Amino acid sequence: MLIPAIRSAAIWTAIAALVIAWCPLVALRRLFDRDPVRYATGRLFRNLGVAMTKVNPAWRIHVDSSLAGDPHAPYVVVSNHQSLADIPLLSHLPWEMKWVAKEELFRVPFVGWMMRLAGDIAVDRSDPRSGAAMLLAAHRTLRRKCSVMFFPEGTRSRDTTLGRFHDGAFHLAITAGVSVLPVVIDGSSPCLPRNTWKFGPPVDINVRVLPAAPTSGMTAADAPRLREQVRNMIQAQLDEWHAVRTGGVPLRDSSDRSSA
């Protein structure tokens, strides 16, 4: 057990050094970034996530973003959520998007500071007023031709199954008149197991962008239908990857469980 502990300690040390070194770079870029959506500052911050994945050679990352289209076209991007590793993994996608994240993350030294500098969007899930403010900020971001990113399960999955989706991202897409862009992550669950600081064993991780789901002609009443359409797209891709790994054994769907 000593070797995995030493390896994990070395990786965390490298990640901490990257985070500390990156913060003044993001601050300097923000100082000269006159774009109201802070596109360049955000891209520099996402590159930190890419660098963080490169210090862990056990993560074999396969990204398929060929269906993303125009990187400056605004989408509501939604992804399943298997691990804390998903955040740096999704930073490999070749366009900027502002992340909707829980408010306490913005109080984390260095990382939280860079999230604010990049223009990410905080939300306090316990405060309805914060949710309304988040939606207003997300609308402004979309109007400025920048995508907004959600984890519609609301939290990490406790296993590899896909949880229920919340409606918020889909209401936003309909009211803003933009398409929903589904992204699927598979294989990240063992990267950073729960309740331990040690990284998991070598693993192949897939990240794929699916075709966009248009919202033209929809009203707020259509949000549940759109939500299930997108969830089914993500579930189908997870099923496909699972079948390849297991020779056809079906993947259990956990849509009847509540998100934590």
- Inform me whether the pLDDT recorded for 69 exceeds 70: no
Count of alpha carbons within 13 angstroms of residue 249, beta-carbon side: 4
Between 230 and 251, whose confidence is greater? 230
Highest mean pLDDT among 37-46, 125-134, 241-250: 37-46
What per-residue confidence (pLDDT) applies to 70? 74
Which CATH topology does 2-246 take? Glycerol-3-phosphate (1)-acyltransferase (3.40.1130)
Q: How far apart are CA 15 and CA 19, in angstroms?
A: 6
Is the alpha carbon torsion for 24, 25, 28, 30 positive or negative?
A: negative
DSSP at 17: H
Burial of 248 per CB tally in 10 Å (0-12, 13-18, 19+): exposed
Q: How far is CA 219 from CA 175, 177, 178, in A?
A: 7, 10, 12
What per-residue confidence (pLDDT) applies to 187? 92
Mean pLDDT of 79-94: 94
Contact 82, 157 (CB under 8 A): yes
The domains of the chain are located at 2-246
pLDDT-above-90 percentage for the chain:
75
Mean pLDDT of 10-22: 97
